[in-house]
Structure 1
Amino acid sequence: MTSRKRRQLPDWMAVCKVQKTDTDQDVPCSSASVNDVAVTSGNSSGNSSNQDENCKKIKTTSSADGADTKFSKFDNTVLKCYSKEERHSLAAAEFQKKMDDFLPEMLFTGTLTYSSHKNDCNALCEEIESSFVGDFIGFDMEWPVTYRPGQQDPTAVVQLCTGPQQCYIFHLSTMECIPPQLNRLLKNSNIKKVGVGIECDLWKLERDYDIQVQPIIKNSMVDLALFANKVLKTTENWSLDGLVRHLFKQKINKNPEIRKSNWSQYPLSETQKMYAATDAYVSYEIYQRLLNLDKN
């Protein structure tokens, strides 16, 4: 009778498979290092002379030059877990992460206005205030990432979304100040500024450009993470991307190469402009969705 070939399981599934002893208890694997574990052959005689033979193990495969293939961070984490619940939880999280990769990307597709001059910024902000018909705008900021301990580069960009089809990007690093009309718009108590972690952003803006942000924080600011916990009755530490995934079943681009790029350099690239506009637009849409949920 021909033996049936067993299907090879992926590494992470093989590690998560729970082996039972005769007393129906989980048997922990030995404390051998990850690089030394070997696959236990399936012995139909059920030889139990060695406890390690009851554990499902993974053998590292060798490349052409003889070097061992490295385990992923997920595999290494699972190998250190011995409880059934922990293994199942990790497998579920890994599955969810893989499913999230297939989510569509949320992008701003409306009109984007880029300003790098003080006079231009003043005119645009005056126009926004005079013609604005809503009561909130999406807010976000960008600055170059520095690796000097205890130091941060000044805020380079402030982006505002006044509606689903209109975003503004103000390149502060080329203006070297907060233009008066932008300062006035931010302090307008009739127009809420909404964003994730917005209070920290505003305090940074005060340190960088010596403007008073306490009135903004007190009268016209909404932190989306806190508001989401109130509306959704959760206690999560929400990120912008996390709220997009939860509320819209979409994701946003958080590529480190863009997020940590040089935001002070003039002019901004089209990729940087789209990244910045999308963050402000997403903040606007999240607040609108939360308002609708709060009414229902």
Structure 2
Amino acid sequence: MTADIEITLPPYPGITLQDILLVRDEAEAQSAFAHLSQASVLGFDTETKPVFQKGQKNDGPHLIQLATESKAFLFPVVQTMNVEVVKSLLEAPHILKVGYGLNDDIKHLKSKLGIVTANVLDLARAMRESKQRDMGAKAAVAKFFGMQLSKSKKTSTSNWALNPLTERQILYAANDAQVALLTYQRWLDLKNNKSQTSI
């Protein structure tokens, strides 16, 4: 889909602030785990403070996002209890985790936090329409929902180690995780309908 067509698409509304929980203490971590552990599929992403100087080491991820259809949970990794909760969810073999372009996220989770993710589906590869070109979240939202997902470069390259995060960062991060889940479900529905009609 070309850029000039995408501009004419209606904007993707995204998740609201009231449906996002920025996990900051033990009680919130337990509440997040109770909600997320009931799901069979979760939207998943991470955010890392960008590195601008040559030779500077990437010490991310600084934020881990997990989402269901109704809620998104943001886990700053500075809190130990957050890492423990996220580790148990990301390593759970019975919960499928879906997201876009997860290769680096998975590597950094293992090297920094010792999290060995299980049952993860990278939608960028799974949804791609040619071997040369991965599908991104923006393209998936345009294809499956006929809407334009706003992806601010300024926000994506902002300081994800901030405490507290800005409202823009919170919405951006939560949408990244939830959009992955919602587009995955839509993609799956279309695939299932297609296979049923061809029977």
Q: What interval of TM-score do these two structures reach, taking the shorter chain for normalisation?
A: 0.7 to 0.9
Aligned residue in 1 for 2:34: 127
Measured in 2, the distance between the counterparts of 1:261 and 1:220 equals: 29
Aligned residue in 2 for 1:187: 91
Q: 1:154 to 1:249 in 2, by over 3 A?
A: same
Q: 1:167 to 1:274 in 2, by over 3 A?
A: same
User: In structure 2, what residue type is equivalent to 1:223?
Assistant: D
Aligned residue in 2 for 1:197: 101
Q: Secondary structure at 1:179's aligned position in 2?
A: helix
Q: Taking every aligned residue pair, what percent have the same amino acid on both sides?
A: 26
Q: 1:243 to 1:250 in 2, by over 3 A?
A: same
What are the residue-to-residue correspondences of 1:77-116 with 2, within 5 Å? Answer: 96-106=2-12, 107-109=14-16, 111-116=19-24
Measured in 2, the distance between the counterparts of 1:145 and 1:156 equals: 10
Q: What TM-score results when the alignment is normalised by the length of structure 2?
A: 0.85
Determine which structure has more spread, i.e. the larger CA radius of gyration: 1
1:207-261 CA distances to partner (integer Å, 9 max, x unpaired)? 222x141xx2xx41111122213xxx54332111121122222122211111111
User: In structure 2, what residue type is equivalent to 1:102?
Assistant: T
Measured in 1, the distance between the counterparts of 2:11 and 2:112 equals: 33
Aligned residue in 2 for 1:294: 191
Q: 2:71 aligns with which of 139, 156, 166?
A: 166
When the two chains are superposed, the root-mean-square deviation of aligned CA atoms in Å is 2.1
Aligned residue in 2 for 1:139: 44
| 2:56 paired with 1:148 | no
Q: What TM-score results when the alignment is normalised by the length of structure 1?
A: 0.59
| 2:163 paired with 1:266 | yes
Measured in 2, the distance between the counterparts of 1:97 and 1:182 equals: 36
Q: 1:274 to 1:212 in 2, by over 3 A?
A: closer
Q: 1:97 to 1:126 in 2, by over 3 A?
A: closer
> What residue ranges of structure 1 are gaps of 5+ in the alignment?
1-92
User: In structure 2, what residue type is equivalent to 1:139?
Assistant: F
1:135-157 CA distances to partner (integer Å, 9 max, x unpaired)? 10000111111112353232111
User: In structure 1, what residue type is equivalent to 2:87?
Assistant: N
What are the residue-to-residue correspondences of 1:243-262 with 2, within 5 Å? Answer: 243-262=140-159
Give 1:121 shift.
Answer: 5.3
CA contact (8 A) 1:136 1:191 kept: yes
> What residue ranges of structure 2 are gaps of 5+ in the alignment?
194-199
Count of residue pairs the alignment pairs up: 189
Measured in 1, the distance between the counterparts of 2:95 and 2:182 equals: 16
Aligned residue in 2 for 1:221: 120
CA contact (8 A) 1:140 1:198 kept: yes
> Which moves more between the two structures, 177-186 or 220-229?
177-186
Measured in 2, the distance between the counterparts of 1:177 and 1:290 equals: 34
